[in-house]
Structure 1
Amino acid sequence: MTKIIAHRGYALLYPENTKVAFDAAYHEHSQGFELDVHLTKDGEVVICHDDKIDRTSNGSGFIKDYTVEELKSFDFAAKFPVNDLYRHTHAEQIMTLREYFEWLDGKNIETNIELKTNVFQYEGIEKKINSLIQEFGQQESVIVSSFNHKSILRMKQENPSLLCGFLTMYGMLEPGEYCRKYGVEYYHPYHLTIDEDTILDCQKNGVQINAWTPNDAESIKKILDLQVSRIITDEPKLALQLKKEMLLTE
């Protein structure tokens, strides 16, 4: 049965990749969260999508050039528009992966950690992430993915039993065979690139598909019909509702 994963928390209605976004997705009964990680100047793993903090905070510059303490001084909701559910009553600090795992304690939730190692390699980030996963006992609940497939192979070298996924933006030839060749369990395609050949090749090679990010009802229904392993979406509440309705009509 397809699981519904909240993309960067409930990022449609709350500031992405912040505690308030994860709280909201959890209260909507999302079955997992997708989040993005970088390394700070002082070697801490922090949660943010972009290499720079300009879009998501009232600061500017690259994450790699700041310490955690310096990053904590910025408001990561400063540019997010208020709405009926989110009123921006206080600053939202950047979260470390450690803080996220501490918050996650006791919750039966999956986590998809995306390594943002496309622009900067962040030497040693794979080792740090594996150490945190082991420290908090999250190995059975974590999938690590990246568009940088070499980074995923480094993750596998660090911990061969950790579940991993290759992210892609464009359609691949024989993606299942490619994932199997490198011992990677999941294929993470952009949802519009999934076709019958993709499904059949992944099935043939024992590779599961986690699709991102269908956000409208028609797209979500289409991906649900394909019975992929997971849907990563900005609309977890809608996706969960559609999943329930489709199960009731089967």
Structure 2
Amino acid sequence: MNLKPQIREIFIDNDKIVTISDQVFFQTGNDGVHQWESGIVLSRYLLSINPIGSILELGSGSGLAGITASKYTRSTNITMTDFNRTVLDNIQENILKNSARARVVYLDWRDVTTYTNPADIVIGSDLIYDGAPIQDLVRTILHHMNENGVCYIVMPDKRKMTPVFLEEAERAGLDVVAMELKDWFTCSPHRDVQKGFRDFAELTMRKYFLYTLTRKSNI
């Protein structure tokens, strides 16, 4: 079994590639050094909307989405966050691999004061899992999203904690709109289709949903 990180080329689109260090096999607690399929879907969504404004990524993992935004969208102020030091180090290495313009910051959802700068766009993928601090996550989104900002969360289907998160978000004053992302968003992340789907098999095994969160209007 190869326990060393592998260098992967992730094809966000035919001519748009991000190179990452991916820990295929990992110990519990270092899940963030593994590239999850939701991050690929989120990266492609960002490419499709080509956002302007500052971006803050929660639970950045490999940094794929933030690096995609830096290299291939109009956003110029990108911050990637996590609370795991190993994950943060891996993100920094991946930023350097891609000559991306982004910064890496420690952020613990249980203490939003660990990083306090808000952003126009808050993003995240596969953040809602068994044992995730749901209320803390919602509080972090609210704290770090500008007054007129937006949050994009991509999740695979059949995660039992997702409805809990959505209920908590609405209770906290957020409007939520759900949309399935499919077809191009879930195609093979490699020119060699068989290799791509072998490395990221869940792209063909699950449905992926984008949850767009905004503050409820007081009008």
Same topology, TM > 0.5: no
More strand by share: 2
TM-score w.r.t. length of structure 2: 0.38
TM-score (norm 1): 0.34
Larger of the two Rg values belongs to structure: 1
